[in-house]
Structure 1
Amino acid sequence: MSRRDQITMSDDEVLAFLDEERTLVCATAGPRGWPHLMPLWYVVRDGRIWAWTFAKSQKTKNLERDPRATLQVEAGETYDQLRGVMLECETVIHRDLETVSALGTEVFRRYTPGIGDGPLPDAMQAAVDQQATKRIAMEFVERRRATWDHRKLAAGVY
């Protein structure tokens, strides 16, 4: 078995990893042709990554011009602990207020300690709904993936 095969994550491992981690880096094609890298908070819906951002952001302008994005989530401080997921995606931009607001609610629920699965407090939901009028939802449709989990290697094999 090749080293690449040894460190590849299964679909279940990828979903568990994405659930554990908090921030992804989204690369889009910038206006001058250079990669434009930005961090995003995200949620996973039915195995697909979703995030929201401001409708007037550079990332949105880039995706309107070219819907391709590369996402990366990584963890680990030392080589033997490195693990990550890189996804090449086509991005679907959603602008309807209901979709954007529902996604914002999911994002706030995931990233606000103590909220859990219940409804957001009224003031927080009002803030999400107000923000949704200025934002878009991004649905990242995976086309190709690369994964790595160096913890799967025998100790000292790197």
Structure 2
Amino acid sequence: MSLAQRRGRKIMMSPGELDAFLGTQRTCRVATVSADGTPHVSALWFAWDGSSMWLYSVVRSRRWADLRRDPRVAIVVDTGEEYDELRGAELSGRVEFVGEAPRTGELHAELDAPETLFARKNLGLQEMPHDGRHAWLRLTPDKVVSWDFRKLASR
């Protein structure tokens, strides 16, 4: 095993740590690929339900158009300023489009939990407002890589 592999295992978040981290962070960076092959990265608020990341995206955005054409995505959530404070996760896979687009608030049981999580965490509201401009994307990641450099100081 290489030094990089051993170090990676030391700083990897446990499933509980990852859930806690993703449950409290607000902003992620979403990487897509445009039709001409150009990468595109944009910031977006999200909700984490313990197994999937829910993104509430403007449907008339480059991100939305990219994902309609190619649903592959990589998403990074990170925090920290100093080296020994850095924490984060990269989630990758294919997004699914859930509910109507744009979202107008039609009854959709699958969206009840993520909309409640999102509204409380990001908007300080008890229920999700719908502006007719956004819709839901769900990423149930195929791969998750995480890091918490604070763990290096404690060893």
Per the TM superposition, whether the score is higher than 0.5 is: yes
TM-score in terms of structure 2 length: 0.82
Query: How many angstroms does 1:104 deviate by?
Result: 4.8
- When residues 105 and 12 of structure 1 are mapped into structure 2, their CA distance, relative to the original with a 3 A threshold, is closer
Query: How many angstroms does 1:101 deviate by?
Result: 7.3
Query: How many angstroms does 1:43 deviate by?
Result: 0.8
- Contact 2:99–2:111 at 8 Å: present in 1 too? no
Distance 1:101 1:47 in 2: 14
Distance 1:137 1:98 in 2: 14
Letter in structure 2 aligned against 1:89? G
Q: How does 1:70-85 map to 2 (within 5 A)?
A: 70-85=74-89
Q: Match of 2:153?
A: 154
Letter in structure 1 aligned against 2:31? A
Q: 1:35-73: per-residue Cα shift (whole Å, max 9, x none)?
A: 111111111124211011122211111001100110000
Query: How many angstroms does 1:30 deviate by?
Result: 1.8
Distance 1:34 1:74 in 2: 23
Query: How many angstroms does 1:81 deviate by?
Result: 1.0
1:2 aligns with 2:21: no
Q: Which moved more, 1:81-90 or 1:29-38?
A: 29-38
Letter in structure 2 aligned against 1:148? W
How many positions carry a matched residue from both structures? 144
- Contact 2:79–2:88 at 8 Å: present in 1 too? yes
- When residues 16 and 77 of structure 1 are mapped into structure 2, their CA distance, relative to the original with a 3 A threshold, is same
- Contact 2:51–2:140 at 8 Å: present in 1 too? no
Q: Which runs of 5+ in 2 are unaligned?
A: 101-105
Q: Which runs of 5+ in 1 are unaligned?
A: none
Q: 1:75-122: per-residue Cα shift (whole Å, max 9, x none)?
A: 110111111000112100123243497555542322234x4xxx44xx
1:41 aligns with 2:45: yes
Letter in structure 2 aligned against 1:153? L
Q: Percent identity between the aligned chains?
A: 28
- Contact 1:95–1:135 at 8 Å: present in 2 too? no
Distance 2:94 2:55 in 1: 13
What secondary structure does 2:153 align onto? coil
What secondary structure does 2:81 align onto? coil
- Contact 2:75–2:90 at 8 Å: present in 1 too? yes
1:66 aligns with 2:70: yes
TM-score in terms of structure 1 length: 0.80
- When residues 60 and 27 of structure 1 are mapped into structure 2, their CA distance, relative to the original with a 3 A threshold, is same
Which of 77, 84, 98 does residue 107 from structure 2 map onto?
98
Which ranges of 4 or more aligned residues in structure 1 deviate by more than 2 Å?
Answer: 95-109
Say what the alpha-carbon RMSD is for the aligned residues.
2.3
